[in-house]
Amino acid sequence: MTVRTAFVTGASRGIGRACALALSAAGHRVVLGARNRELLDQAASEISAAGGQAFAVEMDLGSQDSIKAAFAKAAEEAGPITILVNNAGITRDGLSMRMKRDDWDAVLNTNLSGSFFCCQQVMQPMMKERWGRIINIASVVGQIGNAGQANYVSAKAGLIGLTKALAQELAARSITVNCVAPGFVETDMTAGLSAELKEKMLGATPLKRLGKPEDIAAAVKFLASEEASYITGAVLNVNGGLFM
């Protein structure tokens, strides 16, 4: 197997951390990007302790300059990035009627624009290698909507559209671009939800359980592999049957 360098955003916890661990277990070098240096170092240490190669870089997806600096440092330390997992995201929930412009902009800038700028940073090395994998972590709410999350839903739906556009642009160089759309997953983001809302989620999910970060990481590992070389522009739903 060819050892490649993967960059995972939002890799300090939750789904991003699980993706980094899975890609390392598959034999790749992994660059972990996020804002929290302490949690990044913990995740990188876990990978190193298991015999993998991990590099931690601080980055803020809301800043294009921060993104450029992080990818430049990653390439210098770990080599050309040919696997990108756009996982980092934030929420600023609220009903549309009262949503502040700052909350709209923050979520769109981080979740959609930030992901796009990350894609821009890896296109050239992937085109040079004539091989690449871009995997965007969307959400089931980007497909079905969700009250009180107009900004987050718009960003995730936009990420699905971006995936399809880039898939067409980059296919000639053997670069695939795909989406994984998780359902409701046990992470810090869902931990604060009320018991009533969690019960409602489970009731709407045919498999009757919340997903685990490892469920999403398994899909990411597959899409990053040679076995997925004929899949591009796809949305892989990992949602327990919530949306079919």
Q: Which residues participate in catalysis according to the annotation?
A: 152
Q: Quick check: 108 and 166 in contact, CB under 8 A? A: no
As beta bridge partners, residue 7 has 31, 84
Helices and strands: H and E segment counts in the chain: 10, 7
* Nearest in space to 31 (alpha carbons), one of 14, 10, 49: 10
Q: Quick check: 162 and 155 in contact, CB under 8 A? A: no
Please tell me the distance from the alpha carbon of residue 29 to that of residue 81, in angstroms, as a whole number: 10
Cα-flanking dihedrals φ and ψ of residue 24, to 5°?
Answer: -65, -45
As beta bridge partners, residue 52 has none
Residues 6+ apart with CB under 8 A from 56: 31, 32, 33, 37, 40, 41, 43, 44
Token duo for residue 121: 């940073």
Residue with tokens 């999910």: 205
Using CB atoms within 10 Å of the CB of residue 83, give its burial: 0 to 12 exposed, 13 to 18 middle, 19+ buried.
buried
